[in-house]
Amino acid sequence: VDVYAKAFFAKHVAWAAETGVTAGVDKTHFNPYGKCTRGQIVTFLWRAAGQPTPSTSKNPFTDVPAGQWYTDAVLWAVESGITNGRTATTFAPDETCTRGEVVTFLWRFAGKPDVSGAADPFNDLESERFYYDAVLWAVDAKITTGISADTFGPGENCKRAQIVTFLFRYM
């Protein structure tokens, strides 16, 4: 009920629900402007990949207990090179995912496509940051256009509607 037909993300949310990427926050709400946690985004990616079983049960993270709804997704994401966690021993599954992190997860999920020759249209990116190549790829691949013509907002929290939009455009 909180995804209006004319919202830019309406078809993206419908796709995510139809494909099982997410079911929303309850039976009738998606919460498009709500925060999306790191546990949620790797779970969305894991589901989009077909919920592959991680080949290892060795868990390097003290904050990812066995049996949680995101445990297999986190282990798969680490094993697949999508993330290393926030530190060597913490993943921070309940922390809000930033726009820089989301496009980096997607870029790694896509196999780190080459971005040589891609233009940097934003004034808030630094070439030495972990997300730099991922942002250039996401813009070049038309996954995102940024939050304005010259701003990407890599440190801003990524909303649930933005994340499923990025996923939809990538998939």
pTM of the model: 0.91
- Determine the Cα angle at 135 with ends 165 and 158, to 5°: 45
Query: The tokens of 42 are what?
Result: 């790797």
In sequence order, what are the residues at sequence separation of 6 or more whose Cβ sits closer than 8 angstroms to the Cβ of residue 127? 120
Q: SS3 of 148, please?
A: strand
Count CB atoms within 10 A of the CB of residue 60.
16
pLDDT tens digit sequence for 76-118: 999 999 998 899 999 999 999 999 999 999 999 999 999 988 8
Phi, psi dihedral angles at 35 (to 5 degrees) = -70, 155
